[in-house]
Structures are given as structure tokens and as C-alpha cells.
Amino acid sequence: MQRFDLLARCGRARAGRLTTPHGVVETPAFMPVGTAGVVKALTSQQLAEAQAQIVLANTYHLMLRPGDALVAELGGLHGFTGRQGPFLTDSGGYQVFSLTKLRQLTEQGVRFKSHIDGSAHLLSPERSIEIQNNLGADVIMSFDECPPWPAPREAVAEATLRTTRWARRGLAAHKRSDQWLFGIVQGGVYGDLRERSARELMELDFPGYAIGGLSVGEPKPDLLRVLEGLDGVLPEERPRYLMGVGTPADLLEGVARGVDMFDCVLPTRNGRNGQLFTRRGRLSIRNARYRADPRPIDPECACPTCRTVSRAYLRHLHLAGEITAATLLSLHNVWYYLDTLRRIRQSILLGRFEEFRAETLRTLAAGAAGDGD
């Protein structure tokens, strides 16, 4: 029922096809983040019109509210949300480890207090898998320990070894054959720890591998170095998912190093804050220069926002605090990200990725000084 096929390569960039029980995902792919089962400010119909192939939902948040048992009772994420396309759920590890004042780490798992009502919970490898089995996503993640940056090498090494031990436990607890469980490679910015983590997870024969613990503050050259190292280690025939990354430039650099899947909150978070992505760089709709500007956000964009409304109107809505602003701005950003990945994929299939990458990076760098104009 699930399979991953590599269709083309251009350098280290890969174009593939991930087949899931709820649809096909053409890779490289970007997953809009639907933390609580919804991409903030957007409807499932709007996501479908933007051709969002797969959406990420969050184990930690859905466990706390409305509860994974209720979601299971109502048909899993697909029945509960009404969205019939593929879902991926994360393990909850990143969220609980970010609750430094509310959690206690042991080999058993992580005990923490809910940020909603202060109730006590234990999230273990087994419980994370149970929740994700209940949520019913097409792709689910092993429970991992995500060390902060910076962190001493000893602490990162300990977290990496624990992640492998937890991966074994999670794999043993996994009960559904219609879900692919990915292992998560940890190891911080230490190349040898990353390689050890990857090789130990490969021995467990996961159908896919996620790369976690990056884009947490480390210098960009370290992120790229880690990806380059893992590209030569991870199995070619399995999908690779870079978690929580990133900017349009990050996507290009990740694809250039063999990554197939990405997620990030930037499109929707930045949209709600009036920060927009365009083919010419970023644009702040709050800028006074757009007060009477009749142009669309990006004249090259085919999204509903750019087809229907002006920068002046969007600026007015945003400054007035209108809810519609969050929808229109987020829709543009998500559309831009998804379109960028489609163009990246096409360039790989045509054997022109390196040319496309260089040209796009030049344009984005030039636009950084001109506010997207």
C-alpha cells in the first residue's frame, strides 16, 4: 500500500513519488503545518486549491486537545478533519523538550505538565506511537530526544543514544501496517554522532528517515554540513525528511543535498505577521510604501490573493486587525512555498536543478535589500 519510488536525479537532488493510503505525494514536497489538525487561517478547500499534497499535524497538541482517543473514535485525522489527503504526524518530542520548566526526562520517557491546564502526562516511545496510531496519519515519527543548541557534546551524545533506544521501543509498539513509521536521526552538529545515529536506525530498517534537531539556532554552515554528511549515509531508496526547515533558500539547499520532504511554520506564521514571500524576496505588507499600492503581492503568483486583491487592501486589513488578513496573507505564502517545490521538482526532472537553484538564490539575495520589489 505504501511505497517510495525515485524517478530522477540531478546532482544530489532527487525527484520521487511517495504513495500512501490516502494519496500520492510528489517529492520533493513541502508540508504545511497543521498543528491542531488545521493549517492556521486556512480551510481544507483552500489547501486543496493550493495543491497541498500532505499536511503535518502535531501529536503533542492533539493528545492534549481534543485527545487522541476522540480523534480515533471519529475516524482518525481524516474522518475528524474531513481532509482525505495524506497526513504526517510528528512524535511530540520537540514540543515536550521545549517545555524545559514543565518536564522531567527519564529513560521511560518525558513527564510534563500541560501548557493548557497544568495536568500531568507521560509521553514515552510507546505512548507516542499509540497516539499516532489513533490519529491515523499516513506517515508517523519515532519518539526522539531533541537536544538544544548549543549543548555539550556529551549531552548530545547521550540524547542521540537514547533516541536510538526509544526508536527500538517505538518500532516494537507500532501496531498499524497502513502507517509508515520513520526513524529520526539526531546528533546535533557533530558529524560522527549523526552518522552513528543514522547507521543504528538503518539497522532497524525503517521505511524512511527524518533528520531532526536542526534549525534550532545552529549556524547555517553547520546545518548544510550535517545534510551533506548524511546524504552519503542514508539509503538512497528511502525517503528523507528534514524536520522544521525552513526558508525558501533552505529548501533549495536541502534538496541539493538529497532531502525529499520539508515542513515549517514560516509560511503561516509570517503571513499572520504581515511578512510575505515572493519570487523577488520578502515583503512586509506593513510598510507605508504600500498604502496606496494597487499591485498584487507578486505579479508572477497565481494564488487567489494575488489574483483578486491589492497590496493597499491587504495592508489595510492587516493594520486593522481583520481576520481575513491572516487568511489572505497565509494563503499566498503557502501557495508560494508549494509552487516553489513544484518548480524545484520540475527542474530536477528536466536536469536543470543546479541552474534553477543558482538563479533563484541570486534573485532572492537581490530582493532581500528591496523588500520584495
Place of cell 482517543: 69
Q: Which of 358, 343, 361, 359 is nearest to 29 (CA)?
A: 343
CA separation for the pair 130, 166 (Å, rounded): 14
- Taking the domains of the chain in order of start, what are their residue ranges? 3-264, 274-367
Q: So what's the pLDDT on residue 372?
A: 72
The domain 3-264 is placed in CATH, from the list 3.40.190.290, 3.30.2130.10, 3.40.50.2300, 3.20.20.105, at 3.20.20.105
Contacting residues for 353 by C-beta, under 8 A, at least 6 apart: 10, 11, 13, 255, 256, 344, 347
Q: So what's the pLDDT on residue 101?
A: 76
Q: So what's the pLDDT on residue 269?
A: 98
Cis peptide before 299 (omega within 30 of 0): no
Q: So what's the pLDDT on residue 96?
A: 80
Residues with pLDDT less than 50, the chain: none
Ramachandran region, residue 96 (left: φ > 0; alpha: ψ -120 to 50; beta: rest): alpha
Enumerate the active-site residues: 90, 263
Please give the DSSP secondary-structure letter assigned to residue 242. Answer: E
Q: So what's the pLDDT on residue 78?
A: 98
CA separation for the pair 333, 305 (Å, rounded): 10
The predicted model scores a pTM of 0.97
Place of cell 510528528: 90
Q: pLDDT tens, 83-103?
A: 999 999 999 988 887 877 778
Q: So what's the pLDDT on residue 197?
A: 98
Alpha-carbon dihedral angle through residues 131, 136, 138, 143, given to the nearest 10 degrees: 0
